[in-house]
Amino acid sequence: MTATPPPVPRPGPTRRRALTTALAAGAAVLGAGALSGCGAAQAADGSTVRLWDLFSGADGGLLNDMVRAAGPDMPGTGIERTVLEWGTPYYTKLAMASAGGRGPDVAISHMSRLAGYAPTGLLDPWDLDLLAEYGVTPDDFADAVWSRTRFEGRTYALPLDTHPFIVFYHPEPAARAGLLTKDGTLDTEAFGSPDAFLAAGRELAAASGKQGIAFGYVTDSAQGWRLFYGLYRQTGGVFRLPAGGPAEVDVDRMAEVIAFMAKLVDGRVNPRRLDYPAAIAAFANRQTAMILSGEWELGTFRAADPKVGAAPFPTVFGTPAVYADSHSFVLPRRPHPDAGHRRRTHRAVAALLKAGQIWAGAGHIPAYRPVTETAAYAKLRPQADYARAQSHVVLDPAVWFAGAGSDFQNAMCQVLQQALLGGLAPDRAARAMVRRLDTFLSKPSPA
């Protein structure tokens, strides 16, 4: 018996529809060889839950630790990971395997991609009653993230984390600049308007003896959009993308945000023309006192400065909003799922969520709130200092063509880069973004 509405019959996904979804989101076609692993995803014994994910390096090691820690909460069940390359290849393979009903038992997906997968029938919904049996309920997640898990009244994603766009800083120059509170954390109110933010950058530059705030965006396909969209949502401006278009946005507020971003990287007190690696290096080498970046870079920055601080992105335009995404567990479609194995999969994922304290080591904010409400998490620095960002995160617009690694993000970044490099006035850049939005909206949805 489930508390969720009965399933609504939908047209089954087809390989053509899956391919359209993947291609629209920036995917390239993979050959048959790349799909050869799909059949193997279901080939092992029934006690094993097969997981596809995109976590390599340090994140991959932490997920292995989580699997081991989750063992006592899922006796008799093993988790077999398959790590795939992040980005286009991953989402293409996931879409194609799901269309054929040959995907793994569970997979990781960015929440921002859900609008392109759930409506096209590529995913199965989670059974909330079954999850509740294992101690996981909707109340355990922040509304800002949970609200994005739903489609037509059913839940298609379970958030593992929230990974917001935040600020990192070196405490010594920040203290000399007078930008720390009495408890040693960043005084984000000192960054509370465009002018105040730019002034703080000047103070940080003076305190560091070099430059103030790093931001890497040149040739990057996501960073410019992340900064823009978080700031734009702080303005309270409308951003609706109805099917078929046109986009309903506030062009004046878009231009205001772009003008601020251009001043932020004009080279006067902050470096200009930085790409992503150069910005990381500038901050790690203390050429700048602060950097605007994702919390996933915590490991890199802490290796360079064990005392590195972090805080939610300051509210610059009046309304709290922080750009973010969420790694989430999804159930690839199965035409005839085995009830016993689905139960085993629900139990395994519930156990992994409860082991989220380990995941916090990567800098990610565990989405399962009982983890972040523990004394152990409160002692984590600087993670606990920016955890409150999860209460007002904004993800990509919930449209089929947006999301992590999409052509949409890349198209927005191309316009923003032109504006930030001085080749396009803010108002013209805003109008150019709207034209590109309308182009995306004019394309038929694969759903």
| Per-residue pLDDT tens over the stretch 124-175 | 999 999 999 999 999 999 999 999 999 999 999 999 999 999 999 999 999 9
**Is pLDDT above 70 for 230?**
yes
Sequence-ordered list of residues with C-beta below 8 angstroms from that of 54, at least 6 positions apart, any chain: 83, 84, 85, 86, 87, 90, 108
Out of 80-94, 367-381, 396-410, pick the least confident: 80-94
Is residue 255 located within the same domain as residue 169? yes
Q: Which residue has the higher pLDDT, 7 or 22?
A: 22
Is residue 239 located within the same domain as residue 319? yes
Is residue 137 located within the same domain as residue 55? yes
Please tell me the total count of domains within the chain: 2
Residue 330 burial (CB count, 10 A) = 28
Phi-psi region of 57 (alpha: psi -120 to 50; beta: other; left: phi over 0): left
Angle at 150 between CA 129 and CA 110, to 5 degrees: 110
Structure tokens at 227: 């900064």
Position 63 in a domain: yes
Backbone angles phi, psi at 431, to 5 degrees: -65, -35
Structure tokens at 100: 């054929």
Confirm if 287 and 210 have CB atoms less than 8 A apart: yes
Structure tokens at 364: 């990610």
Rounded Cα–Cα distance for residues 70 and 160 (Å): 14
Report field, pTM of the whole predicted structure over 0.85: yes
Q: Which SS3 state, helix, strand or coil, does residue 391 take? A: helix
Position 27 in a domain: no
Is residue 180 located within the same domain as residue 317? yes
Confirm if 22 and 91 have CB atoms less than 8 A apart: yes
Backbone angles phi, psi at 313, to 5 degrees: -60, 125
Position 29 in a domain: no
Is residue 79 located within the same domain as residue 224? no
Mean pLDDT over 421-440 rounds to: 97
**Is pLDDT above 90 for 219?**
yes
pLDDT value at residue 317 = 98
pLDDT, tens digit, for every residue of 110-125?
Answer: 999 999 999 999 999 9
Is residue 404 located within the same domain as residue 434? yes
Is residue 230 located within the same domain as residue 337? no
**Is pLDDT above 50 for 389?**
yes
Confirm if 50 and 83 have CB atoms less than 8 A apart: no
CA-CA distances (angstroms) from residue 120 to 15, 110, 237? 11, 16, 30
Position 16 in a domain: no
Position 109 in a domain: yes
Mean pLDDT over 271-278 rounds to: 95
Position 368 in a domain: yes
Mean pLDDT over 376-394 rounds to: 95
Amino acid at 38: C
Position 5 in a domain: no
Task: Tell me if the bond preceding 382 is cis, omega within 30° of 0.
Answer: yes
pLDDT value at residue 88 = 77
Is residue 268 located within the same domain as residue 123? no
pLDDT value at residue 29 = 29
Structure tokens at 437: 């939005």
- The whole domain housing 267 covers 164-324+396-442
pLDDT value at residue 7 = 41
Is residue 199 located within the same domain as residue 256? yes
Using CB atoms within 10 Å of the CB of residue 136, give its burial: 0 to 12 exposed, 13 to 18 middle, 19+ buried.
buried
Strands 48-53 and 288-294: unpaired
User: Which stretches of 242-389 are assigned E, i.e. beta strand?
Assistant: 248-249, 288-294, 309-312, 322-325, 327-332, 365-366
N- to C-terminal Cα distance for the chain?
29
Rounded Cα–Cα distance for residues 69 and 54 (Å): 20
Rounded Cα–Cα distance for residues 129 and 350 (Å): 12
Q: How confident is the model at residue 46 (pLDDT cuts 50, 70, 90)?
A: confident
Measured in whole angstroms, how far is the alpha carbon of residue 374 from the centre of its chain? 24
**CATH number of the domain encompassing residue 283:** 3.40.190.10
Position 255 in a domain: yes
pLDDT value at residue 108 = 97
pLDDT value at residue 12 = 56
Is residue 211 located within the same domain as residue 72? no
Confirm if 67 and 51 have CB atoms less than 8 A apart: no
Q: How confident is the model at residue 89 (pLDDT cuts 50, 70, 90)?
A: confident
Is residue 214 located within the same domain as residue 333? no
Rounded Cα–Cα distance for residues 248 and 237 (Å): 10
**Is pLDDT above 60 for 3?**
no
Average pLDDT of the chain is: 90
Angle at 303 between CA 295 and CA 211, to 5 degrees: 75
Strands 288-294 and 211-214: parallel
The four Cα atoms 162, 168, 172, 178 give a dihedral, to 10 degrees, of -90
What are the residues facing 155 on neighbouring strands? 150
pLDDT, tens digit, for every residue of 173-201?
Answer: 999 999 999 999 999 999 999 999 999 99
pLDDT value at residue 8 = 42
Taking Cα atoms as reference points, which of 294, 287, 279, 367 lies closest to residue 328?
367
Sequence-ordered list of residues with C-beta below 8 angstroms from that of 9, at least 6 positions apart, any chain: none
Is residue 367 located within the same domain as residue 231? no
Structure tokens at 230: 């978080």
